[in-house]
Chains A and B, each alone.
Chain A
Amino acid sequence: MGNSARTPDVAASADFEEVQATEQFKELRRRHRSFVFPMAVAFLLWYFAYVLLADYAVDFMSSKVWGNINVGLIMGLLQFVTTFAITGWYVSYSNRKLDPIAAEIRHGIEGHEFDKAGNRVGGATP
């Protein structure tokens, strides 16, 4: 199968089991999972709580808060707010905690590093 969109895979010969066993990689995996798993559980619980309320607590959801705006509408709009908030949170977390360490490991495997201009600046031996 052709895969000409990518450069020849510099990582093809890497020992991935060895990389997987390094403390650095374990730290990356821990950081990733300790963020995405609890967050996924949290938003799914919040979403299903909302669905259940809309399904079985119709009177509560129908109670008016302001004018014709009821609890159901506010909770629905809050789902939008939390979705946007989690998105922003995840992006800032990845930029700070995941990307730098992922790049380090990647460079370690690929055996060289690039500076911002894309020039090779040395690094670990493969």
Chain B
Amino acid sequence: MIYIPAAVDVAALQDTTLLNMGIFGLFVAVTMVIVLRASRNNKTAADYYAAGRSFSGSQNGTAIAGDYLSAASFLGITGAIAINGYDGFMYSIGFLVAWLVALLLVAELLRNTGKFTMADVLSFRLKQRPVRIAAAISTLAVCFFYLLAQMAGAGSLISLLLGISDWGGQALVIMVVGALMIMYVLIGGMKGTTWVQIIKAILLIAGAAVMTLWVLAIYGFNLSSLLGAAVETSNNPNVLNPGLQYGKTETSKLDFMSLGLALVLGTAALPHVLMRFYTVPTAKEARKSVVWSIWLIGLFYLFTLVLGYGAAALVGAETIKGAPGGVNSAAPLLAFYLGGPLLLGFISAVAFATILAVVAGLTITAAASFAHDIYASVIAKGKADADTEVKVARRTVVVIGVMAILGGIFANGQNVAFLVALAFAVAASANLPTIIYSLFWRRFTTQGAVWSMYGGLASAIILIVLSPVVSGAKTSMMPGANFAIFPLSNPGIVSIPLAFLLGWLGTVLDKKREDRSKQAEMEVRSLTGVGAEKAVDH
């Protein structure tokens, strides 16, 4: 007999706080033991950043799914579909199709040419200093936006689960989450982080699968009746049609295009995803990991379609919007409706774990980028030994952790998927043109790379600051102010083409030519894997 209350009583959620905390505590305890075991042989920089390149393609693929299926995917997309219907589904499609860019154009070539960070690849055949600094700065910027989104998700979840709506209480819990994350990364390095991501991916996908089957079972495994019920509850047939959120005006339609562009081009330029390709021994394993992650991620996004419309049908958009945590609370509320306190506890623990794992992955990427690209290559001019570099990386972890905690305390209420889409736009603008040009365009020069990276980064961030996201609307971060002269909330449609254009312009106007032999070396290495393969045979 399935326990189905007539309506979701949000206030009743708080009675389950202890259970939620218990399940979450169990997850933390189990993963901490694994992280401690994994970290026993963390000795070199390659161990710390790239987990000694010891993971198999399927393990890494699961970890990539764990890294990628963030709170944005689970809480954000489910909420977006529950409230905005079809327009929310667009996130799922964009986030998935984007993996083809990574699979076809980036993953293997990058695995063959780099060592630890994205900057390794970008500066391979160009001038080290300027390109490395630019790549490190854009890595830090993208990680910061992504962290902000995850922390906003943590805030939403906490306010829902613990019923803590006062600022101080939420801040305290965000601090606890942040402190845990710092511990994972400090102790476990990339290996520990990868294991946390693998465990979390399995739990998340399994939890979503159970909920999906449950929702479908309620409607006799008939998708059409589920959709019909969503229409009935929301009293709006348009939840099944495109345009509910973005179809209102010509500007919002353009915004939708901009979002679509940022989603599909962002993934292959996300530094924390790119860094994962270095944890496998060969390009073939890198390919295998992308294939695994495409299957897992695709499957999960199919689940979100059912979960989103399920939440719309069973919980109802009004209840979701009214709950503490707002849009982001659709998935936990649906869990509560289906399985009562126990399923809610499990799903919330999984959501917490999701945030923890993604934040850990972002933090180690940002720390590696700072220590490896800025400290070792620029400040110490290549003279730092690996031990010092890892020491710097560990200190950076603490600094970034503290920044994430502060950011999380201040970023609240925005849809997590939406915030992540901004990180995608920044990544696609700042990184993708240079990645593509340096892999495929022989003539590409340092000036082109620097123009494209700084131009893309600056235009994306400036347009976000001048957009309705920051000011001029009720939902803005600063609703009181109004300096929103850029009408779109996602800058991708302007900043991504601009960055490609700047990369081309900077190159054709550059009087200097790059080292011909370096280009040959990069091309041969990227396609054949010479020097990067076979390491496992010895």
Q: List A residues at the B interface (Cβ < 8 Å).
A: 1-7, 9-12, 14, 16-17, 19-20, 25, 28-29, 32-33, 36, 39-40, 43-44, 47-48, 50-52, 54-56, 58, 61-62, 66-70, 72-73, 76-77, 79-80, 83-84, 86-87, 90-91, 94, 99, 102-103, 105-106, 109-110, 114, 118
**A50–B525 alpha-carbon span in the complex (Å):** 37
Taking a contact as CB atoms under 8 Å apart, the answer to whether A87 and B523 are in contact is: no
Residues of B within 8 A of A77 (CB): 302
Taking a contact as CB atoms under 8 Å apart, the answer to whether A105 and B528 are in contact is: yes
**A102–B440 alpha-carbon span in the complex (Å):** 17
**A2–B222 alpha-carbon span in the complex (Å):** 57
- Asked whether B52 is an interface residue with its Cβ less than 8 Å from the other chain, the reply is yes
Smallest Cβ-Cβ distance to B377: which chain A residue: A1
Residues of A within 8 A of B89 (CB): 73, 76
- Asked whether B103 is an interface residue with its Cβ less than 8 Å from the other chain, the reply is yes
**A113–B268 alpha-carbon span in the complex (Å):** 33
Q: List B residues at the A interface (Cβ < 8 Å).
A: 44-47, 50, 52-53, 86, 89-90, 93-94, 96-97, 99-101, 103-105, 115, 222-225, 227-228, 231, 238, 240-243, 246-247, 253, 256-257, 260, 264, 284, 287, 290-291, 294-295, 298, 301-302, 372, 376-377, 382, 384-386, 389, 440, 516-517, 520-521, 523-525, 527-535, 537-538
**A68-B228 contact given A43-B97, A90-B104, CB 8 Å threshold:** yes
- Name the residue in A12, A55, A70, A76 with the highest tally of chain B Cβ atoms < 10 Å from its Cβ: A55
- Subset of 29 A-B contacts with CB under 8 Å: A2-B44, A2-B386, A2-B389, A4-B45, A5-B52, A10-B531, A11-B525, A16-B524, A39-B100, A47-B264, A55-B253, A58-B243, A61-B241, A62-B240, A66-B224, A67-B227, A68-B223, A69-B224, A70-B240, A70-B241, A72-B241, A76-B93, A79-B96, A84-B295, A87-B294, A102-B527, A105-B528, A105-B530, A109-B524
**A76–B99 alpha-carbon span in the complex (Å):** 16
Taking a contact as CB atoms under 8 Å apart, the answer to whether B44 and A20 are in contact is: no
**A12–B418 alpha-carbon span in the complex (Å):** 45
Smallest Cβ-Cβ distance to A32: which chain B residue: B527
Taking a contact as CB atoms under 8 Å apart, the answer to whether A67 and B224 are in contact is: yes
Taking a contact as CB atoms under 8 Å apart, the answer to whether A43 and B100 are in contact is: yes
Residues of A within 8 A of B301 (CB): 80
Residues of A within 8 A of B531 (CB): 6, 9-12, 110
- Cβ-neighbour of A91 out of B256, B287, B523, B535 (below 8 A): B287
- Cβ-neighbour of A52 out of B44, B246, B257 (below 8 A): B257
**A28-B528 contact given A54-B90, A58-B242, A72-B86, CB 8 Å threshold:** yes
Residues of A within 8 A of B372 (CB): 1
**A114–B538 alpha-carbon span in the complex (Å):** 11
Taking a contact as CB atoms under 8 Å apart, the answer to whether B223 and A3 are in contact is: no
- Cβ-neighbour of B104 out of A19, A29, A36, A84 (below 8 A): A36
Taking a contact as CB atoms under 8 Å apart, the answer to whether A16 and B257 are in contact is: no
**A44–B260 alpha-carbon span in the complex (Å):** 11
- Name the residue in B90, B240, B242, B247 with the highest tally of chain A Cβ atoms < 10 Å from its Cβ: B242
Smallest Cβ-Cβ distance to B242: which chain A residue: A54
Taking a contact as CB atoms under 8 Å apart, the answer to whether A68 and B240 are in contact is: yes
Taking a contact as CB atoms under 8 Å apart, the answer to whether A20 and B523 are in contact is: yes
Contacts A67-B228, A87-B103 supplied; 17 other A-B pairs, CB < 8 Å: A2-B44, A3-B46, A4-B45, A6-B535, A7-B538, A11-B530, A17-B517, A58-B247, A66-B224, A72-B241, A76-B90, A83-B298, A87-B99, A90-B103, A99-B284, A102-B528, A114-B537
